[in-house]
Amino acid sequence: MSHPRVTALTQPLFDRSRPLPASDLPRAIDPDLDLVDRWRKGEVDAFTALVRRHQRRVFGLLLRMLGSREEAEDAVQDTFLNLHRHGHRFRRESRFSTFVYRVAINAALNRRRSLGRRRSHSDAFSEAQAVGHLGPSAETDPESALAEDQLRTRLARELHALPEKLRAPVVLFDIEGLSYGEIAEVLQVAEGTVKSRIHRARQALRARLADLVTRPESGS
Amino acid sequence: MRHDAVAARLSEYLGGSLSGRDASRVETHLASCLDCRRELRELRLTVELLRELRGGVDSPDVAETVRARIRNGEAEPSAFDRLWASATRFLSTPLGAPFATACVGLVLLAVLPRIEVEVSIPGRSTPAATVAPAPQATARAPERSRAQQGPLLARRVNESLSGRAGRLHGPAPFACLESSPLGACREQHAFMTELAIENVWAFMAEIEEVPEPRRDDLLLELSRFAAESGAASDVAARLRATGDPEAQQIAIPFEQAR
C-alpha cells in the first residue's frame, strides 16, 4: 500500500514494458524486418529506406555521445557503412533498431579512440552548443527561447562531462527511451550493470545540476 | 529494506521497473526517510531535465551520401565477413548440421593418430612437426629425425639387441620405451647412450677373442645400435679422444652411422 506522502513520487516516469523476448520477434513488433529482407536480397533502395528511417535517432545518439556535430555527422555515415558491411550479423534476436544502436555506439567509440586527446577542452563547449542546436521555436517568445537554449546547452555540457561508460546507458535510457534489456544488448553488458550505471550517471548529473534540481520538499 | 539498499534502487523505482514487493518496501522506507525522499525528488527532476534533450536534433540527411559511398565500394564486407556470412547461411540450412558433424569427425580422424606419435617422441630433439605414423619401411631412412621414429625405433633396436650384439650387455633395454611415457623414455635413452659406449669398450676388450669375420658384423651392429640411440657421435668422439690407433679405426663406422 502506498503512503500518501510519497504517492506523487511513485508515478513511473516512463511506461516501459519489460525487455522483449530474445528470439522470434514477430514482424509486427519489428517494423524493419521487411526492409531488412529486401536489403539482404540486394535491394539498395531498401537499405536507403532503412538509413532514412533511423538516421535521425542515430544522429541524436552520436551527437550526445561525441558532443560535436561535425564528428556526429561523420560517425553517422560510419555507422551506416558499417551496418551495410556487417549487416549479416543481425540475427533477428532483437529489434533491428537495437542492432543499429549497437553499430552506432561502436562507431562512436571508434571515432573517440581515433580522435584520442586531440580534442581540446574548449571544443566541448562548442559541442555543447551544437547539442542544444535547435533555435527558438516559433511559438516561444525570444526570452524563454533563449533560456531554453541555455538550459539545453548546460545539460549537454554536463552530460558530456560524464565518463563514457555512464553516459552511454543514461543517454540510451533517458533520452533515446530504450529498455534495460535493449541497452544491455547494445552495450554488451549485463542488465544489472546497465541499471547500476544509469543510477550512477543520474546521481552524478544530479550533483552537477544541483542548482536546478535542489528544491525544498513541499509540505515538509 | 535498509537505507543503502533503497538508495541504490531509487532509479529503478523511478522507472517503475521494481517488482510490486520491492516497490512496496521502497515506499515504506521513503515514508520515514527524508534523505531518500529528497534524493528521489532530485533524481526525478534530473531525469525530467534530461528529457528536455529528447528530439530537437536537426539531423542531416545522409542517405544519398551513404548510398554513393556504398556504390563507391566503401562498405564492402571483408573476405572474413563474406566467408563468415556464407558459412552461417550454409550452417542454417538442413544440410548444415550434418556437414559440420562430418567435418569435426574428419578432423578428429586426422588428428588423433598424430597425437599418439607426438606423445611417444623420445630423446632430446626439438618439438617436431606432426606426422602420420611411419609406414613399415623396408629400408632405413637416415634423413628421418629421431622424433619421427618413436616406438618403431624401440622395436627395431630391441629386435636387434635380442639377436646378436645385444647379448653383450643386458636385456632389451627399449622395452619400456615401447609402452612407457615420454619422461621415462628419455631416461632410458640416456641410459642407452651409456650402454652403447660400454658395449664398444667391451667389444674392444674382447676383440681378440672374436673371430675375424665376425668382427665387422659385430662392429656394424654396434654402430647401428649407437646411431639409433643417438649416441653414435658421442661414441666416435670418445674413441677419437683415446688417441689409440685401433680406436681411430673403430670410430669410422660410428661416424658413418650418424
Q: Read off the CATH number of the domain in which A81 is found.
A: 1.10.1740.10
Question: Would you give the distance in Å from CA B77 to the centre of its chain?
Answer: 33
The residue among A85, A149, A173 with the most chain B CBs within 10 A of its CB, best to mutate, is: A85
Q: Are B63 and A10 an interchain contact pair (Cβ–Cβ within 8 Å)?
A: no
The pLDDT value given to residue B107? 85
Give the A window 143-182 contacts with B, CB below 8 Å.
Answer: 148, 151-152, 155-156, 159, 170, 173-175, 177, 180
Q: What is the DSSP string of A164-187?
A: HHHHHHHIIIIIS---HHHHHHHH
The pLDDT value given to residue A135? 45
Q: Does A160 map to a domain?
A: no
The pLDDT value given to residue A23? 46
Q: State the Cα–Cα distance between residues A149 and A138, nearest whole angstrom.
A: 14
Which residue in the set A152, A173, A195 is minimally distant from B52, CB to CB?
Answer: A152
A212 to chain B, closest Cα gap in Å: 8
Residue B163 is which amino acid? G
**Do B23 and B36 form a contact (C-beta atoms < 8 A)?**
no
Name the grid cell of B39: 534524493
Q: Does A20 map to a domain?
A: no
**What is the extent of the structural domain holding A38?**
27-116
Phi-psi region of B150 (alpha: psi -120 to 50; beta: other; left: phi over 0): left
Residue count (chain A): 220
pLDDT tens-digit map of A97-127: 999 999 999 999 888 887 764 554 444 444 4
Q: State the Cα–Cα distance between residues B14 and B28, nearest whole angstrom.
A: 15
Q: State the Cα–Cα distance between residues A175 and A167, nearest whole angstrom.
A: 11
A12 to chain B, closest Cα gap in Å: 5
Q: What is the DSSP string of A70-123?
A: HHHHHHHHHHHHHHHHHGGG--SSS-HHHHHHHHHHHHHHHHHHHHTT-S-HHH
Q: Does A64 map to a domain?
A: yes
Q: Does A22 map to a domain?
A: no
**Do B187 and B124 form a contact (C-beta atoms < 8 A)?**
no
Q: What angle do CA A204, A205, A210 make, to 5 degrees?
A: 105
Q: Does A43 map to a domain?
A: yes
More confident residue, A11 or A163: A163
Total domain count for chain A?
1
Q: Does A95 map to a domain?
A: yes
Q: Which of A57, A63, A67 is nearest to A98 (CA)?
A: A57
The 10 Å Cβ neighbour count of residue A9 is: 19
Name the grid cell of A205: 548529473
User: Which residues on B lie below 8 Å from A73 (Cβ)?
Assistant: 60, 62
Nearest CA in chain A to B81: A86
Residue A137 is which amino acid? S
User: Which residues on B lie below 8 Å from A1 (Cβ)?
Assistant: 24
Q: State the Cα–Cα distance between residues A173 and A168, nearest whole angstrom.
A: 9
Q: Which of A33, A172, A62, A104 is nearest to B60 (CA)?
A: A62
The pLDDT value given to residue A205? 94
Q: Are A13 and B40 an interchain contact pair (Cβ–Cβ within 8 Å)?
A: no
The pLDDT value given to residue B93? 76
Residue count (chain B): 258
Block residue for cell numbers 660400454: B198
Name the grid cell of A14: 516512463
Block residue for cell numbers 511513485: A10
The residue among B49, B70, B72, B78 with the most chain A CBs within 10 A of its CB, best to mutate, is: B49
The per-residue pLDDT string of chain B (258 residues; one tens digit each, 9 = 90 and over) reads: 688 888 888 999 988 888 888 899 999 999 999 999 999 999 999 999 988 888 767 888 899 999 999 888 888 777 777 777 777 777 777 777 888 888 888 888 877 766 544 444 455 454 444 444 444 444 444 444 444 444 555 555 556 555 544 444 444 555 555 555 556 666 666 777 777 777 777 777 777 777 777 778 888 888 887 887 777 888 888 888 888 888 888 888 888 876
Residue A158 is which amino acid? E
User: Which residues on B lie below 8 Å from A170 (Cβ)?
Assistant: 50
Q: Does A130 map to a domain?
A: no
What sign does the dihedral A147-A150-A155-A158 (CA atoms) show? Answer: negative
Q: Are B60 and A59 an interchain contact pair (Cβ–Cβ within 8 Å)?
A: yes
The 10 Å Cβ neighbour count of residue B130 is: 12
Confidence check: pLDDT of A129 > 70: no
